[in-house]
A and B are shown apart, each in its own frame.
Chain A
Amino acid sequence: MSLKKLLKPFKLISIARRSGVVTVLYPYQKSLITTEFRGKISIDATKCMGCGACVNACPPNALTLSRRDDTIILNYFIGRCIFCGRCAEVCPVGAITVTHEFELASTSTRDLNESLVHRIERCSGCGGGLGATSRMLQYVILHSPASENYVHLCPDCRKKKLIQSLAMKMGARTEDYEG
C-alpha cells in the first residue's frame, strides 16, 4: 500500500506524458478561428447607400440611422453588436462584410463607434430635401428604369407634375400655370 502511494506521482507523470500539452500559446500562436467565424463587420463606404435595411435587421440596435440637417448618419456601435451577421445578409448592395476581427478591447466606448456620413440629395424642382441619397436614387433607377423621369422630385413636386401633365392632356394651355 505504501509503495503504491509512493509511486503515485510517477504514475501521474506517465499519464501527463501520454496526453501531452494542450495549452494554446495565444499571443504567439495563431488563434483558433475558423472560416465561418463572425467578428466585427466592416461597412464599405464606396458601396453603402444609406437605405437602413441593416438597421431594421439588427437585433440589439447596434446599427442606428440618424438624420441631421443635410446628412444621414449610419452609426455602428461595436459594444452592443452581437455578431449575428444579419446585416451582411440583408444588405441589398453587399456593402457589409463580416470580418474575422475579434481583438476589439478598448479603453473608452467612443473608440467603439464607427460612423458613415451620407449627403441627402435635393429635389430638382423646388430644391428641398429629398430624404434619399444619390446612391439610393441610382439603385431605384437601376431596378425600375421607368422611374427615371420623376425620381429626382420630392412628393409635392411629383404631384404638381402629374396634375400639370393631366391638365395638358385635357387641353389646358401652359400660360394658365405660369401665372
Chain B
Amino acid sequence: MRVDPLKKSIWVFHLNTGSCNACDIEILDALTPYFDVERFGIKLVASPRHADLVLLTGPITRKTLPKVINALRAVPRPRYVLAIGACAVGGGIWYDTYSVIGGVEELKKILEENGIEIDRIVYVPGCPARPEAIIYGVAVLLGLVEQKVHGEVKIAE
C-alpha cells in the first residue's frame, strides 16, 4: 500500500508505555509556551484516531503491550512514531529485564506479526531527551533537516 506523505500540520498523541515520567515532562515542556511547538503546527490531541505522530516514551512493559498495540492500530496511515528517551530507543537501564519488551526495535517485530505497519520511526536518544531534541526529532521525521549522527567505525592503530 502506497501512503501519501503528510502535507499539513502534524497532530501528536502522547503514549506513555511505562516510563519514569521524565520524558513525559520534557514533552509537556515542548508543548507549553516556553518552547511552543504550535508555532510549527504541532498540536497535542487526546485520541490516537486523530493523530499523525505517536510520541512513545518508556521501555514498553509487558503490561502495557496490548494497549500499545491497540493504540497504534487506531492511528490512521501514514503512521509515524517518535521513540523518545533511552528506554524507548534501546530499552535504557531495563533493556534485559524480564518485565519489559526492550524498546521500539523489539516492538516493531511484534507489530509486524500483528499486521500493523509503521511508516517511519525516528529515534530520539537522551535520558530524558531535551525539548529541543524532541523538536529536532520531529524535524528529522518530516525531512526538514539532515540527521547529524552517522554510525562510524574507527580503527585504533
Contact = CB atoms under 8 A, between A and B. Distances in A.
Interface string A65-109: 000000000000111111100000000000000000111111111
B154 A112 contact: no
A104 B154 contact: no
Given A110-B151, A135-B156, A79 B33 contact: no
- Interface residue tally on A, bucketed by range: 35 or more
Interface string A18-59: 000011101100011000000010010110101000000001
A50 B156 contact: yes
Nearest to A115: B153
Contacts of B140: 105-107
Contacts of A80: 86, 89-92, 95, 125
Contacts of A135: 156
A113 interface: yes
B154 A60 contact: no
A59 to B, nearest CB: 6
A117 B155 contact: yes
Interface string B82-105: 000010011111010000000101
A77 B90 contact: yes
A116 interface: yes
- Interface residue tally on B, bucketed by range: 35 or more
A48 B122 CA distance: 31
A125 B139 CA distance: 58
Given A45-B155, A115-B154, A104 B127 contact: no
A83 to B, nearest CB: 6
A121 to B, nearest CB: 12
Interface string B112-143: 00000000111111110011110111011100
B111 to A, nearest CB: 16
A48 B148 CA distance: 24
22 contacts: A22-B33, A23-B36, A26-B135, A27-B135, A32-B132, A40-B149, A48-B156, A50-B156, A81-B86, A81-B125, A83-B127, A103-B136, A105-B136, A106-B123, A106-B140, A106-B149, A107-B120, A107-B122, A107-B147, A109-B105, A112-B151, A119-B157
Nearest 10 A-B pairs (CB), nearest first?
A79-B89, A79-B90, A105-B137, A82-B127, A80-B90, A45-B154, A105-B140, A23-B36, A103-B136, A60-B93
